[in-house]
């Protein structure tokens, strides 16, 4: 699970940038006047985009650099409070920047622009020098002893069994976003071992199977950080190193791979069943099949592909399903790149 970073900002303070590669963040604000976030492809004074919250009773997303449409604005009186923290989320993927409030999945304001290179975020206060803004920001946990950057090693993936009698694993892999960070899980269901998602706000796992999002209290959680996501255009060409998350209930025990796909305003992990040519994701009680998706992969220099799926009747090799007690000998990019994680310990400052 993520840690909470608490900071206070005031107008005219130096910009402190934090590096995110998850394309989404959750945060809370307590402020009298307004608050702002800057998002950019590099840490410098003039951010590429600026998000203003409660500024003159309005909330907006503004393009600071470049040409084109410069601002999208809505009226939002009393959106901030001086007595309580208010929760928000921001995401930037698919060339759309979105700002949402609390647990609502529909954003209150969006801005269309190229977002592929955005990864630096700074937290600000605007205008009045008396405008103090208190922030609580969800960030992935870091190891406090790792103050010196070292060559990355380890991070091998493994599955950790979880139920409500245990703490959720600290090194669980963040695989998506749905108003909160989503984690990748898998669970037994009707003879299958099916990948899905975990939502910490509900304390529940969900797997897509039989047209429904089936809830689970006991499941396994994917841990580690040495992963990367690749676009998967054709399930006839599953890339080498694709992470096997389980198997189907069919006699042939078809391999199920871990995928994720954009649906509405969300990025949701689920299962790729190659013979069905789609990625199934669980969402609001339903199993949704989507034909545009990414697949989780162990990085590989080549561009080779594995077979389409297991030959019917052939037994699945459980050495490559990786139950809890088996450690994967793989090198699999965390939602936040741990190789660059020192940004949270020694953030880059723009003077």
For the chain, domains (ranges, CATH) are 3-140+339-350 (2.60.120.200), 158-335 (no CATH)
| pLDDT > 80? residue 178 | yes
| Per-position DSSP letters for 144-203, written without gaps between them | TT--S---------EEEEE-TTSPPPTTBPEEEESSSEEEEEEEEETTEEEEEEEETTTT
Hey, is 77 helix, strand or coil? coil
Positive or negative, the CA dihedral 1, 154, 324, 295 is positive
Hey, is 272 helix, strand or coil? strand
* pLDDT for residue 300: 58
pLDDT band at 326 (very low <50, low <70, confident <90, very high): very low
| pLDDT > 50? residue 328 | no
* pLDDT for residue 166: 85
**How far is the C-alpha of 328 from the C-alpha of 296, rounded, in Å?**
14
Cα–Cα separations (whole angstroms), residue 267 to 39, 126, 177, 178: 19, 31, 5, 7
Structural Rg of the chain based on CA atoms: 21
Q: What percent of the chain has pLDDT over 90?
A: 46
- Most confident by average pLDDT, 23-27, 41-45, 149-153, 234-238: 23-27
| pLDDT > 70? residue 145 | no
């Amino acid at each position: 699970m993520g840690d909470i970073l608490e900071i206070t900002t005031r107008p005219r303070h130096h910009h402190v940038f934090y590096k995110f590669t998850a394309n989404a963040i959750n945060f809370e604000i307590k402020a009298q006047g307004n608050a702002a976030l800057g998002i950019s492809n590099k840490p410098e004074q003039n951010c590429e985009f600026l998000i203003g919250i409660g500024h003159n009773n309005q909330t907006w997303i503004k393009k600071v650099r470049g040409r084109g449409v410069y601002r999208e604005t809505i009226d939002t009186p009393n959106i901030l409070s001086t007595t309580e923290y208010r929760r928000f989320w921001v995401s930037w993927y698919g060339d759309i920047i979105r700002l949402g409030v609390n647990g609502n999945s529909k954003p209150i304001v969006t801005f269309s622009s190229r977002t592929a290179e955005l990864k630096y975020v700074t937290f600000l206060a605007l205008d009045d020098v008396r405008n103090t803004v208190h922030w609580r920001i969800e960030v992935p946990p870091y190891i406090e002893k790792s103050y010196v950057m070292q060559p990355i090693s380890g991070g091998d993936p493994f599955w950790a069994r979880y139920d409500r009698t245990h703490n959720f694993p600290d090194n669980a892999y963040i695989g998506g976003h749905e108003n909160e960070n989503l984690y990748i899980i898998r669970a037994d269901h009707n003879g299958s071992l099916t990948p899905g998602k975990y939502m910490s706000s509900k304390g529940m796992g969900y797997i897509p199977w039989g047209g429904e999002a089936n809830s689970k209290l006991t499941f396994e959680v994917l841990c580690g950080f040495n992963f990367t996501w690749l676009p998967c255009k054709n399930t006839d060409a599953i890339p080498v190193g694709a992470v096997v998350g389980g198997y189907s209930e069919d006699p042939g025990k078809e391999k199920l791979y871990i995928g994720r796909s954009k649906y509405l305003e969300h990025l949701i992990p689920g299962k790729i069943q190659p013979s069905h040519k789609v990625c199934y994701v669980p969402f609001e009680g339903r199993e949704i099949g989507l034909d545009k998706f990414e697949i989780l992969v162990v990085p590989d220099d080549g561009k080779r592909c594995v077979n389409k799926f297991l030959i019917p009747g052939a037994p699945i090799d459980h050495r490559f399903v990786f139950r809890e007690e088996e450690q994967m000998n793989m090198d699999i990019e965390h939602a936040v790149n741990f190789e660059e994680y020192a940004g949270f310990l020694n953030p880059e400052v723009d003077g």
